[in-house]
Amino acid sequence: MSDNGEEQVMEPQAVQVQGKGQKPAPGRKGKGDPDRLGRESVGKLLVEFSLPAIVMMVFNSLYNIIDTVFLQIAVPGIGAAVTQLAFPVMCILMGCSMVAGIGGNALAAIELGRGDKDRVEKIMGNTATLLVIMGVLAAVVGTFLIDPLLALLGAAGELWEPTKVFLQIVLVGFVFQSLGMGMNNFLRTAGRPNLSLATSVLGTVACLVLNAVLVLGMRLGIAGSALATVIGQGVGMVPVILFFAAFKGAPFRLRAAALVPEARLSLRILSLGLASFVMQVGNAVVTLVLNHVINTYAATDPIGVTNAFAVISIVWKVLGLAYTVVIGVTSGAQPILGYNIGARKWGRVLATLKWSCIGAAALATLWWLLFELAPSAVLVPFSVGEDLMDFACMAMRIMTLWLPLVGYQMMGSSYFQSSGQPLKATILELTRQILFLIPLYLLFPPFAMSAFGVSGLTGVLLCVPISDALAFITTTYFVAVEVIHLRKKRDAEQA
């Protein structure tokens, strides 16, 4: 334990070859062998694990976009408004899937590196139980607390009832997303990144087809779109559960005995996944604060409130797509980091950290070049009118100014989650979205107006790159200290 009570990088006293009472592993050497995480080329593993994770994250992010597109066709105006009002709830629900799924997988990867597969199965079983509990709690909220939730979201008038219908169906059916998305993380640690991708694509395609059938074909409108989302998530969940529960080739299994919850283990899983949950809650809170400041400063700006909401919302959606690509790199690196930390292979840990940071920053830089050099081309598919294009291009260039730094910052934060240091991971996740961005939204625009003579709305846009720069500096300090510790361990290992 450190002085602040946080557990440092987990170091086993000895690497166990197998779990207690477990037969020796048959020594698989193919792609289904998770032990290759400790011996194959780090660069090769990062590419193999990150590419499917990137595509998977993009497909997962398409659920809200698919709902928006079909509802705009079926219920113009109201459809887009409902998905916008529901967005903070969707962020929090995704965070619930991630807090147990990513936390459990991070801990499982470390134990797999130690060679204790019995413990891996116990972790996975407890994770599944936590995910089901979260699904039940969401159903309770959707059934008994939906009206207070709608009031908090700001639903009113003609939007109240359709938003209520949409959210009730999504909340009651959340258990499918919870289990499917949460357990999907373990497929990468099981050495099956392509299966992880396939299940996500399957769910998204099902959502797309069902939206066409239920919303456009059967004209079920809001309810049809929500049902398509829930059923699509269920379709993606089934093969994940079947793989771990019934497939004989699975390197570790989902067993009934492992589902019995252990309080300390469950808390450890949740603590490791806390940073991911904070990220999603941060998205929701930032959206609420951003809505407030847009209302305040756009009311006196020639662009107007409605246009400001439309443009900034579109830019954030595009940015969100860029972020999901970077998150794919962090997801691909997680099992590699966890396994080698558990196996005490510190040279491989350093190499994984270095190349994943470079990869995340490089992908973010490609997005940045696109946004800076051809913003109008990116915005055209979103039907941004000529009268708004100049403002939209300016907004995109400002908000993505330090995007390459964000790629590195996100990977740096993810490293501490993968290495069993939840407090540091949570702090770094809080910096960019909560500790920096929200105060900047509230305080910087009036300062920018008086100090630099810019509009309040421009001041709102400038808050994003300032927050990115501050978060980069903070992350660099944490990572630099960690690299010093890792190098000492590597040198001692090689001595």
Residues 257 and 275 grouped into a single domain? no
Does residue 24 lie within any of the structural domains? Answer: no
Rounded-to-integer distance, Cα 354 and Cα 183, Å:
27
Question: Which of helix, strand or coil describes residue 75?
Answer: coil
Q: How many domains are contained in the chain?
A: 2
Q: Which long-range CB contacts under 8 A does 157-160 form with residues at least 24 apart?
A: 158/78, 159/78, 159/81, 159/82, 159/85
- Looking from the CA of 13 toward its CB, the CA atoms found within 13 Å total 0
291 and 255 part of one domain: no
* Residue-level pLDDT at 172: 95
Close Cβ partners of 411 (under 8 Å, ≥ 6 residues apart): 326, 329, 330, 333, 356, 357, 359, 360, 361
Higher-scoring residue by pLDDT: 8, 118? 118
19, 119 Cβ separation under 8 angstroms: yes
- The verdict on residue 4 lying in a domain is no
Can you read off the two tokens belonging to residue 390? Answer: 């100049």
Tell me the one-letter amino acid at 355: W
Establish if 30 belongs to a structural domain: no
The structure tokens listed for 118 are 């019995």
Average pLDDT, integer, range 307-316? 78
If asked whether residues 228 and 341 sit together in one domain, one would say no
423 and 470 in a common domain: yes
pLDDT at 7: 41
For residue 468, pLDDT over 50 is answered with yes
Same domain, 280 and 180: no
Would you say residue 29 lies in a domain?
no
pTM exceeds 0.75, yes or no: no
Q: Are both 228 and 290 inside the same structural domain? A: no
**Is residue 6, in this structure, part of any structural domain at all?**
no
User: Helices H, strands E: what count in the chain?
Assistant: 17, 0
436 and 410 in a single domain? The answer is: yes
Token pair listed for 14: 């000895």
CB atoms within 10 A of CB 150: 21
With 0-12 CB in 10 A as exposed, 13-18 as middle and 19+ as buried, what is 21? exposed
In a domain, 266, yes or no: no
Give the chain's mean pLDDT: 84
Amino acid at 473: I
The lowest-confidence range among 58-62, 386-390, 433-437, 469-473 is: 58-62
> Could you tell me if 277 and 256 lie in one domain?
no
Backbone angles phi, psi at 458, to 5 degrees: -65, -40
Statement to judge: residues 133 and 203 lie in one domain: yes
Q: Is the pLDDT of residue 201 over 60?
A: yes
In a domain, 27, yes or no: no
- Tokens 């099992």 found at: 335
Q: What angle do CA 56, 62, 67 make, to 5 degrees?
A: 150
Long-range contacts, stretch 307-310, CB < 8 angstroms, 24+ apart: 307/388, 307/391, 308/457, 310/388
Same domain for 159 and 222, yes or no, is yes
pLDDT digits (tens, 9 = 90+) for 338-377: 889 988 899 999 999 999 999 999 999 999 999 999 999 9
Answer whether 100's CB lies under 8 Å from 267's CB. no
Burial class (CB in 10 A: 0-12, 13-18, 19+), 479: buried
C-alpha angle with apex 310: 298 to 69, nearest 5 degrees?
A: 165
pLDDT value at residue 16: 37
Give the end of a domain, one of 233, 261, 289.
261
- pLDDT at res. 276: 75
Nearest of 409, 258, 259 to residue 326 by alpha carbon: 409
* Whole-angstrom distance, CA of residue 174 vs CA of residue 325: 24
Amino acid at 33: D
Give whichever of 54-63, 147-156, 282-291, 439-448 has the largest mean pLDDT. Answer: 439-448
What contacts 493, CB < 8 A, 6 or more positions away? Answer: 344, 345, 346, 347
Instruction: Say whether both 218 and 346 belong to one domain.
Output: no
Mean per-residue pLDDT for 474-494? 92
- Please report which confidence band the pLDDT of residue 80 belongs to, taking 50, 70 and 90 as the band edges: low
DSSP string, 111-138: HHHHT-HHHHHHHHHHHHHHHHHHHHHH
Residues 6+ apart with CB under 8 A from 129: 259, 260, 261, 266
Q: Indicate if 236 and 334 belong to the same structural domain.
A: no
Q: Is residue 32 part of a domain?
A: no
Say whether pLDDT at 477 is over 60.
Answer: yes
Final residue belonging to a domain, choices 230, 261, 292 = 261
DSSP conformation letters of 367-421: HHHHHHH-HHHHHGGGT--HHHHHHHHHHHHHHTTTHHHHHHHHHHHHHHHHTT-
Residue 388 belongs to what H/E stretch? helix 386-399
Q: Which domain holds residue 52?
A: 37-261
Calpha distance 173→473 (Å, rounded): 41
The alpha carbon of residue 453 and the mean position of all alpha carbons in its chain are separated, in whole angstroms, by 37
Select from 232, 261, 290 the last residue of a domain: 261
Mean pLDDT of 169-187: 92
Nearest to 89 by CA among 150, 37, 46: 150
For residue 477, give the 3-state DSSP assignment. Answer: helix
Structure tokens at 424: 């540091």
Closest to 104 in 3D by CA, of 80, 132, 76, 84? 132
